Amino acid sequence: MTIDHIIDDFELLDSWDDRYRYLIELGRKLPPFPEDERGDATKVQGCASQVWLVSRPAEGSDGPRLAFIGDSDAHIVRGLIAILLALYSGRSARDILAVDPAATFDRIGLREHLTPQRSNGLRSMVERIRADAREALAAV
């Protein structure tokens, strides 16, 4: 699912209860996360719930591209991961570093509806994705 599709869906939902249900549904649609990837190296620090993110770099015509998989033990956080994967996965490392995730979450109207803990966790996930992009660029 594309980030534009997710944004359009959010705009159709009037109540925040419906938007949270949709967020949880997005998380349920994430592909299964490999058990052997659940470890300290893939765990995102700074999240109240457990979050794992894995980047898989590949060479593209415009430099390294990164595909991501992720998971969490919290339903809403899984939904946030689904949004981040739609926003970042498959992009070039340079594009990842240029994306403003705050603008996307503002468009959805989600940032002001997240608890401070979830907002901190979201920032930690974005920073992990950006760090992986910087690392992929440095390896070229």
Q: Which residues are marked as active site?
A: 47
Separation of alpha carbons 44 and 124, rounded Å: 7
Burial 89-108 (b: 16+ CB within 10 A, else e): bebbbeebeebebeebbeeb
Starting at the edge strand found earlier in the chain, the sheet holding 91-92 runs: 51-60, 63-72, 91-92
Cα separations (Å) of 80 from 111, 130, 139? 11, 16, 28
Could you give the angle at the alpha carbon of 110 between the alpha carbons of 6 and 34, nearest 5°? 60
